[in-house]
Amino acid sequence: MHRFFVPRGALGGDEVALPSSVAHQLRNVLRMSPGAHIVVLDNSGWEYEVELTEVAPQGARGRIVSRSLSATEPRTKITLYQSFLKGQRFEFVLQKGTELGIVEFVPVISARCVVSSLEHAERKAPRWEAIIREAAEQSRRGRLPELTPALFFREACLRATRAGQLALIPWEGETNTGLRQALDRTPRPFSVSLFVGPEGGFEEAEIAAAREAGVTPVRLGPRILRAETAGLVAASAILFAYGDLD
């Protein structure tokens, strides 16, 4: 069944007023008619099976026939602090990270980012949000991952450590601590912050600043991963370690 995230206000009693973007898709792309069933999610953790009652150019409506708690969200809440990447790579990370179960994306400007303006992220936000939404619907997420405004690296480190729990920065220059050791050192965290650098990696001064803020450098094995690969690999390994891929 097709799944759609809608704003909270779209649900009232047993009725759902679907937003125009969804109405357009139901009518013109999926060619659905009244009587068809879809799943609607309002980001509350519930999902609703809805029977369409109206699919018209002026909008679409439906009636809730049942509801259940969605059971697809990982227990381990990973926030990915991803440095800006060139071209489509950032979008690739948002899409794949959503499929994997990342709950929050923080775009980060670090020293070696090729694009380094906050306006870039602001301009791209609507497109990035659409990519996340589509990936969340396709992969049957129960909640929509959040996209925060962009932050500079040092602010991002402070935000991550204020959030408490485990904060890790994969760095290919780390020789002592592998990801497994870092996970084994602490009790199972509720949330994990994960920092990944841009194509050119992090500067040593950034690693020092991260360490000082309480973000632990870890190695992801002896091979150098592309910037768009590293976060996905680290997130997969963390979710696997805590049983979220079972």
Q: Which residues bind ligand SAH (CB under 6 A)?
A: 170-172, 196-197, 200-202, 219-221, 223-225, 227, 230
Question: Distance from CA of residue 128 to its chain's centroid?
Answer: 10
Q: Which amino acid is at 170?
A: P
Query: Three-state DSSP class for 213?
Result: helix
Query: Three-state DSSP class for 131?
Result: helix
- Identify the H or E element spanning 58: none
* Smaller CB separation from ligand SAH, 133 or 159: 159
- Residue of minimal Cβ distance to ligand SAH: 197
* Smaller CB separation from ligand SAH, 225 or 237: 225
Burial of 50 (0-12, 13-18, 19+ CB in 10 A): buried
Residue 24 CB partners (closer than 8 Å, separation 6+) = none
* Shortest separation between residue 170's beta carbon and ligand SAH, angstroms: 3
* Smaller CB separation from ligand SAH, 8 or 223: 223
Query: Three-state DSSP class for 200?
Result: coil
* Smaller CB separation from ligand SAH, 74 or 197: 197
* Shortest separation between residue 206's beta carbon and ligand SAH, angstroms: 9
* Smaller CB separation from ligand SAH, 96 or 141: 96
- Identify the H or E element spanning 23: helix 20-24
* Smaller CB separation from ligand SAH, 86 or 123: 86
Q: Tokens for 166, please give them.
A: 């485990």
Closest by CA position to 217, among listed 158, 184, 175, 164: 175
* Shortest separation between residue 224's beta carbon and ligand SAH, angstroms: 5
* Shortest separation between residue 171's beta carbon and ligand SAH, angstroms: 5
* Shortest separation between residue 225's beta carbon and ligand SAH, angstroms: 4
Cα separation, 6 vs 40, in Å, equals 7
* Shortest separation between residue 199's beta carbon and ligand SAH, angstroms: 6
Cα separation, 188 vs 74, in Å, equals 13
* Shortest separation between residue 242's beta carbon and ligand SAH, angstroms: 19
Q: Any alpha helices (H) in 101-193, and if so which ranges?
A: 118-138, 153-162, 179-185
* Smaller CB separation from ligand SAH, 41 or 80: 80
- Identify the H or E element spanning 63: strand 59-69
